[in-house]
Amino acid sequence: MKKVRIGIAGLGRLGMTHARNIAYYTVGAELTALCRRDPDALQAAGEELSVQDLYTDFDEMLQNADIDGVAIVTASDSHARQAIQALRAGKHVFCEKPLGISAEECRQVEQAALARPDLVFFPGFMRRFDPSYQYAREKIDAGLIGEPYLFKGFAADPMSTIEECIQYGGKGSGGLFMDLGIHDMDLARWFLGEDPTGVFAQGGSFHYPIFTQRGDAEAGIASYTFASGKMAVLHAGRAAPHGYHVETEIVGTKGSIRISPTPRKNHAVLYLQQGVVTECCENFPQRFEEAYRLELQAFVDCIRRGKQPGVTVTDGRKAVQIAQATTRSFREKRYLEISYASFLR
Ligand SMILES: NC(=O)c1ccc[n+]([C@@H]2O[C@H](COP(=O)([O-])OP(=O)(O)OC[C@H]3O[C@@H](n4cnc5c(N)ncnc54)[C@H](O)[C@@H]3O)[C@@H](O)[C@H]2O)c1
């Protein structure tokens, strides 16, 4: 079977990880074009990845590169426009989260994707592909914890990378709830099998006031209501002193499942004067290394088999609608109902 030729746009913190995964780990794929705005960094990436077809402009890559699909890993406020352009150019699309930073632009992406059922559209919710989350999902589907009724998500970036986060997490990222919390909003829907109907969120800055000065929060919490009475809570933060910590709990009528209650770097345990020590996971590429590879493999497998993925453009749109309502609730300090209005239904 012919290899799927992929062009990638955005070669920053995550983009280089995805580019290496496509080039070296994705069966049936070939990394054939790169797009990055900084010409020197683009050249360096081309040399590292042995890719010669280089572009500083996304639209030029779409027009001129000999590619079947694109991976969009640019700044979040570019995703929607680029995804629509790529679909119109007849390319399969892998789009990093969030699909866009407003519900309006996500509805446009959804409309463009649903108009081209012949093209694969894959929103990058990599936690769904992480082996531990997959395992939890299988146990829930098998009825092991009964009916799941409560989702608890905790997501914290490490304080050690705060400067990077301050630089990256500005307006273009959509803020704490859109940028970081969105993974848990997607997982809450996935595990509980239902969309939240309302949210009350709070947030503040306790080490770095710059987040509050920008109208954002360094740390925040959100509580979600569901029509059936199910519940979800989220705690997200930018400055965990101990490292990168993503922990999830799903509580059901017969039991519960916890994923990564100890966010360990690896399986080693140190026995020292200060006690028994497990070093903490350092960052997202380390924690989700396998998930990033598996999601790209799933994207390429869908293209080769002519199938759509289990995670859809509508999942991407709904997660942004939840994140947008969460951000508004935090800013307006009140409970808000979540609207899932769409152009199409
Ligand atoms: N799924 C995850 O776990 C996860 C983790 C980190 C980041 N992300 C997402 O990935 C995206 C990139 O994040 P990052 O941390 O790599 O950011 P980054 O700032 O390190 O890199 C972004 C790159 O995109 C380039 N870029 C921005 N706009 C562009 C445009 N219009 N055309 C071409 N290039 C453009 C920038 O020059 C930079 O090289 C974000 O949307 C973020 O939400 C997802």
Give the strands of the sheet with 53-55, arranged side by side. 53-55, 29-35, 4-9, 69-72, 92-96, 121-124
Task: Sort residue 142 into left (φ over 0), alpha (ψ -120 to 50) or beta.
Answer: alpha
Choose among 284, 233, 219: nearest CA to 13. Answer: 284
In a domain, 65, yes or no: yes
How many domains, in total, are found in the chain? 2
Whether 213 and 303 map to the same domain: the answer is no
Asked whether residue 315 is domain-assigned, the answer is no
Quote the ligand 1 centre to 134 CA distance (angstroms).
Answer: 26
Place of tokens 């705690």: 235
Element (H, E) at 42: helix 39-49
* 223: helix, strand or coil: strand
In a domain, 78, yes or no: yes
Pocket test residue of 74, 105, 177, 238 for ligand 1, highest count of atoms within 8 A of CB: 74
In a domain, 342, yes or no: no
For residue 132, is it within any domain?
A: yes
CA gap 80, 86 in Å, rounded: 10
> Is the CB of residue 75 below 6 angstroms from any atom belonging to ligand 1?
yes
Residue 289: strand, helix, or coil: helix
How many angstroms separate the alpha carbon of residue 12 from the centre of ligand 1?
A: 6
Is the Cβ–Cβ distance between 105 and 181 less than 8 Å?
A: no
Residues 262 and 162 occupy one common structural domain: yes
In the predicted structure, residue 345 carries a pLDDT above the cut 60: no
Q: Is the CB of 168 under 6 A from ligand 1?
A: yes
Indicate the length of the chain as a whole number.
345
- Ligand 1: centre distance to CA 74 (Å): 4
**Are 97 and 202 in the same domain?**
no
pLDDT tens-digit readout, 165-193: 998 777 789 999 999 999 999 999 999 99
Residue 74 maps to a domain = yes
CA–CA dist 246, 228 (Å, integer): 27
For 81-131, what is each residue's pLDDT tens digit? 999 999 999 999 999 999 999 999 999 999 999 999 999 999 999 999 999
Question: Could you tell me if 226 and 303 lie in one domain?
Answer: no
Q: Ligand 1 within 6 A of 14 CB?
A: yes
In a shared domain, residues 121 and 207: no
Pair 166, 275 in one domain? yes
Structural domain that includes position 153: 128-283+320-337
Which atom belonging to ligand 1 lies closest to the Cα atom of 288? 3
The secondary structure element, H or E, covering residue 314 is helix 313-332
Kindly state if the Cβ of 97 falls inside 6 Å of ligand 1: yes
Domain membership of residue 105 (yes or no) is yes
Tell whether 90 and 183 lie within a shared domain. Answer: no
Q: Which CATH number belongs to the domain containing residue 54 in this structure?
A: 3.40.50.720
Residues 62 and 154 in one domain: no
Determine how many CB atoms are found less than 10 A away from the CB of residue 209.
11
Residue 304 Cα to ligand 1 middle (Å): 26
Same domain, 36 and 64: yes
From the DSSP assignment, how many helices (H) and strands (E) are in the chain? 13, 15
Cβ–ligand 1 distance for 287 under 6 Å, the answer no
pTM of the predicted model as reported, rounded to 2 decimal places: 0.97
Spell out the alpha helix ranges (H) of 125-197: 131-141, 162-168, 175-176, 182-192
Q: Are residues 68 and 138 in the same domain?
A: no
The H or E element spanning position 235 is: strand 231-240
* 264 secondary structure, DSSP code: B
- Encode pLDDT of 263-293 as tens digits: 999 999 999 999 999 999 999 999 999 999 9
- Span from the CA of 266 to the centroid of ligand 1 (angstroms): 27
**Is residue 177 assigned to a domain?**
yes
Nearest CA to ligand 1 atom 3: 284
How far, in Å, is the centroid of ligand 1 from the Cα of 227? Answer: 35
Residues 118 and 153 placed together within one structural domain of the fold: no
The CATH number for 273's domain is 3.30.360.10
Between the CA of 228 and the centroid of ligand 1 the distance, in Å, is 37
Residues 132 and 121 in one domain: no
